[in-house]
Amino acid sequence: MKAADYLATTKPRVVLLFLATSGVGMVLAGGWPPLPLTTATLLGVALTVGGAAALNEYLERDIDRLMPRTAARPLPAGRLAPGAVRSFGLGLCALGVVELGFLVNPLSALLGAAGAFYYVVVYTLLLKPHSPQSAIPGGLAGVFPPLIGWAATSRPWTMATAYLCALIFLWSPPHFWSLTLARAHEFSRAGIPTMPATRGEGPTRLEILTYVLAVVGVSLLPVVAGLLGSLYLALATAAAVALVVQLVRVLQSADPRQAFILHKLTGFYLAIVLAGMVADRLL
């Protein structure tokens, strides 16, 4: 049971998401590199992202205790000791950075360390507890894994990588804000400033609309630039249509369930777009 609880603190679904973005970063940089390098890169990303997630759960354990959505996590539920999770998270981050440095290259290790520091210190400690707009700069945390994927290939910088980073950065705010709309009372109870609480639900919906349109627009730029083709365009368009349809429902309804559906759908949207990038490049 303890092993499963330690694994849970690493937020495996988040790790899988960033493994995907790191892999896409490698593909867009010039195709899959050799299997040993791919394995080493993804292992380093899993370690650093998982370690940062564990440290996030350590720092937010008291907040998590106040929200039904997170109260059953290992730390707020009392199944793990805070000091043990802190050491576990620090150890994973250190191991990931060292692994990237020795088995991949120094730049990927530097990006891994910077990403963990940004998520734990800048976002978790400095931004999220104090600013309802934290999701915007917080989106930068998601840019580091695809950058690690690009750095691992040792290939020159391309606009395809830039589009991927911009897409992930713009995707993060509507993904988080739709959750705050759906669980506004939980965040308020925990004392976390959110857009719905500070600016109102109407302005929050308009912000989500703005960022969703920006995400969809950026997702089409690689096609306009001739970097991706018809297969990607078909998948990205289908995903965008589904996202916009649900967004319209959120704009028309105050039902928090619609906002939660949008939150979930943003995750599926990103997964489909990422899969489309890989499929278009490799098929």
Q: What is the domain count for the chain? A: 2
Q: What is the pLDDT of residues 58-70, one digit of tens each?
A: 999 999 999 998 9
138 & 221 share domain: no
Three-class SS of 99-149:
HHHHHCCHHHHHHHHHHHHHHHHHHHHHHCCCCCCCHHHHHHHHHHHHHHH
- Domain of residue 163: give its range: 158-283
203 & 133 share domain: no
Q: In the listed set 156, 183, 211, which residue is the last one of a domain according to the structure?
A: 156
Identify the CATH number of the domain in which residue 194 sits: 1.20.120.1780
27 & 103 share domain: yes
Q: What is the pLDDT of residues 215-252, one digit of tens each?
A: 999 999 999 999 999 999 999 999 999 999 999 999 99
131 & 31 share domain: yes
User: pLDDT truncated to tens, each residue of the chain (283 aa)?
Assistant: 689 999 999 999 999 999 999 999 999 998 888 999 999 999 999 999 999 999 999 999 999 999 998 999 999 999 999 999 999 999 999 999 999 999 999 999 999 999 999 999 999 999 999 998 899 999 999 999 999 999 999 999 999 999 999 999 999 999 999 999 999 899 888 889 999 989 999 999 999 999 999 999 999 999 999 999 999 999 999 999 999 999 999 999 999 999 999 999 999 999 999 999 999 998 8
Q: In the listed set 156, 184, 213, which residue is the last one of a domain according to the structure?
A: 156
